Amino acid sequence: EPAPESPPTAPSEARRAFTGSLFPALLPFIGLFLGVLVFWLSLTPAVLNLLVGQAESPEALLRGYRTWYILLIGAAVVAVLLPAAGSVIALKKADISLTLLGLVVVSVGFPLFLGVAMLGQEDVPGLLARSGEDLAQLESGQLEQTTVWLSPRTQQEGLPGPYAEGQPEPVTQYSATGASADPTWTPFYIPDCLGFTPDRQTLYNGNESISWNEENSQQYRLSYTTQFHLVVSVEPVGEEAYG
């Protein structure tokens, strides 16, 4: 006669309980952790630097930022889908309880709130659309043009998007104005890859009159995109252009 089966040992019962009920119940939390990790990685300076750090032209720079906007939106979607998938498995495999339902709500709701808040506050979908319009403008060559004076007050920056400390700053923001008794200043972003290094002594002097600046300050003809005011070419009036 066959020997009677021995009763399951305590370790095997614990393993069966873990794989059958406890582990599925942890899947929403695991999905939450992985989703937030993916979203956090998309915001790190290393990712953006990989996309724009070696850009050698305004078009390449804009393409890099556009790719980053797509990655941010994709990471936000993944951050929601991972805990959502874990929650579906948990609800099918684990014993449903109020604790499990609460974990499911938190696991899906937190990344959903985080993604919507971040993408909405920075208007990343809008930035994606605007970058697409500027790229189409660059490819068609139908750029905006203006002749202006540049302010000596500049700031090293990146193009618009969620900011994180240490992110690359591949453009310099210049404020520009035309010949007006009451000058209005418009920001323009000049990529570092253009190699634009003006003589600061020839930039607009706000302490002097318009007529003085007309005689002593250098004017520049800018070719730029409509949405981001990304400068593609800088031409000192009467001299050779940058870009």
Q: pLDDT for 67-92, tens place per residue?
A: 999 999 998 888 878 777 777 777 67
Q: Where are the domains of the chain?
A: 10-132, 143-236
**Statement: residue 202 has pLDDT above 70:** yes
Alpha helix positions (H), 142-228: 210-216
pLDDT interval class at 217 (50, 70, 90): very high
Q: Report pLDDT for 173.
A: 96
Q: Report pLDDT for 184.
A: 85
Beta bridge partners of 177: 149
Q: Which tens digit of pLDDT belongs to each residue from 90-147?
A: 767 655 555 556 666 666 666 667 767 777 788 999 999 999 999 999 999 999 999 9
- What phi and psi values does residue 6 have, to the nearest 5 degrees? -75, 145
Q: Which tens digit of pLDDT belongs to each residue from 147-175?
A: 999 999 999 999 999 877 889 999 999 99
Measure the CA–CA gap between 243 and 232, rounded to whole angstroms. 6
Q: Which tokens is 130 given? A: 């605007």
- Average of per-residue pLDDT values in the chain: 82
Most confident of 87-96, 192-201, 224-233: 224-233
Q: Which residues contact 200 (CB under 8 A, 6 or more apart)?
A: 152
Amino acid making up residue 92: K
Angstrom distances, CA of residue 207 to CA of 2, 51, 203, 211, 213: 105, 41, 12, 12, 10
pTM of the prediction? 0.80
Measure the CA–CA gap between 141 and 134, rounded to whole angstroms. 10
Q: Report pLDDT for 69.
A: 96
**Statement: residue 240 has pLDDT above 70:** no
